[in-house]
Structure 1
Amino acid sequence: MTLLTTWPESGPETEVRRTADPVAIKEALAPIGVRYEQWPIREDVPADADSDTVFAAYGPEIAKLNAEEGFTTVDVLGLHPSDDPEFPVKAKAAREKFLQEHTHDDDDEVRFFVSGSGIFYLHVDGEVHAVLCEKGDLLGVPRGTTHWFDMGTRPSFTAIRFFHEEDGWIGNFTGDRIADRFPDFDTIAAGHLA
């Protein structure tokens, strides 16, 4: 189940908000320009589905969002535990790329979770909003919003990514180590998804 937790940027000692109610999450994120919605879940789509399967299953939703927002590039990104001896190295590298606070000058960061989960941390107006997204969740983070993403130490997700620019994901890192002060994916998920 999706979860929104908000703290002051000074640290996680005091929770300002904690809710798993989708309507409350949408209402809390709207004032900071973040789009949150839930799409129908396609139970027949395997967790590790390939791009063609995902595009076929979510074609109408993708077309509608592209028409509304003018996205020109859509792709599917997935990372799932495997027996590949290189998986731990690949997972660690992928996690570290997104785990530090950054912004995007030229594009929004819009993701739909086909399967699995991950947390977007939004650092806005003196607060940190941790949005634990799961299967069926769409989150749109506006360009210029300071944020980071944590997929956990053993990532397992498939997500549709939407871009206005063909060059895709370009992060401008702030150098602030704020992510180190807040509960990570594994901590939040252990308390919420268990």
Structure 2
Amino acid sequence: MSRLSVHHQSSPQIPNKVLGHAEDIAGTLAAVGIEFRELPLQSRVQAGASEQEILAALGETMEQLKRDSDLSQAEVISIDQRHWPREGDKPVDTPVEVLADGAQLYLFLAGQGLLSLHIGDFVYGLIGERNALVSVPAGTRHWFDLGEFPHCAAIRLSAANAVAARPSGDAIAASFPRLED
């Protein structure tokens, strides 16, 4: 089950509220222009599975998401700490707040990841777990954290012509708790 904590940017260690029900999470995020819902998935994938395995398992679900969101570029995030680091894996760095010129869609498939959204004076920290679907509008400051011991399978969809997200220049991500904190 996904969880959402809402922090004022001046108090990263003390959340104003913590939510664990999908309806409460959806309502709180909708108030700031973020869509959240749970997408019941029939197929199961494991964190650490290959990109090909994950895309094959999602099949028509992935194609429907691409059509519905008008986002066609899929980036698979799949790391399992028990088999990590593997040759070619990148080290997990401290998260950096970024801005994306286009919309992005995150679909959590296994394990968990922390998607933090910096909107106005608040940071919405969503620990996404299986079935969580989050739509991040263009220009939303955010960062994604897999934690010190990553165990996550997720897909990030963006437009085919999307430019890579660029750092916002704000060091706020370093002030907020990481996934394990």
- Scaled by the length of structure 2, the TM-score of the pair is 0.87
The DSSP-based 3-state class of the residue aligned with 2:48 is coil
- Once residues 50 and 158 of structure 1 are traced to their aligned partners in structure 2, the CA distance between those partners, rounded to angstroms, is 10
- Once residues 60 and 45 of structure 2 are traced to their aligned partners in structure 1, the CA distance between those partners, rounded to angstroms, is 15
CA contact (8 A) 1:91 1:154 kept: no
**Structure 1 portions without partners, runs of 5+:** 188-194
- Once residues 4 and 22 of structure 2 are traced to their aligned partners in structure 1, the CA distance between those partners, rounded to angstroms, is 9
The one-letter code sitting in structure 1 at the alignment partner of 2:125 is A
Match for residue 27 of structure 1? 27
Match of 1:100 among 83, 96, 99: 96
The one-letter code sitting in structure 2 at the alignment partner of 1:70 is D
Output aligned runs, 1:65-76, within 5 Å: 65-76=65-76
Match of 1:134 among 129, 144, 152: 129
Output one character per residue of 1:103-136: Cα deviation in whole Å (capped at 9) or x when no partner: 111x222111111111111110211110000121
Output one character per residue of 1:149-182: Cα deviation in whole Å (capped at 9) or x when no partner: 11101111111221212456x1221221111222
- Scaled by the length of structure 1, the TM-score of the pair is 0.82
- Once residues 21 and 123 of structure 1 are traced to their aligned partners in structure 2, the CA distance between those partners, rounded to angstroms, is 21
Match for residue 177 of structure 2? 183
- Once the two structures are TM-superposed, the CA of residue 66 in structure 1 deviates from its matched residue by 1.6
CA contact (8 A) 1:72 1:166 kept: no
- Once residues 109 and 124 of structure 2 are traced to their aligned partners in structure 1, the CA distance between those partners, rounded to angstroms, is 22
Output one character per residue of 1:13-71: Cα deviation in whole Å (capped at 9) or x when no partner: 54222110001101111122212111224464333333333223322322222222211
- Once residues 131 and 59 of structure 1 are traced to their aligned partners in structure 2, the CA distance between those partners, rounded to angstroms, is 26
Residues paired across the two proteins, number: 180
Percent identical pairs in the alignment equals 27
CA contact (8 A) 1:91 1:155 kept: no
Output the aligned Cα RMSD. 2.2
Structure with greater proportional helix content: 1
- Once residues 90 and 55 of structure 1 are traced to their aligned partners in structure 2, the CA distance between those partners, rounded to angstroms, is 21
Q: Which moved more, 1:132-141 or 1:61-70?
A: 61-70
The one-letter code sitting in structure 1 at the alignment partner of 2:112 is S
- Once the two structures are TM-superposed, the CA of residue 91 in structure 1 deviates from its matched residue by 3.0
CA contact (8 A) 1:41 1:136 kept: yes
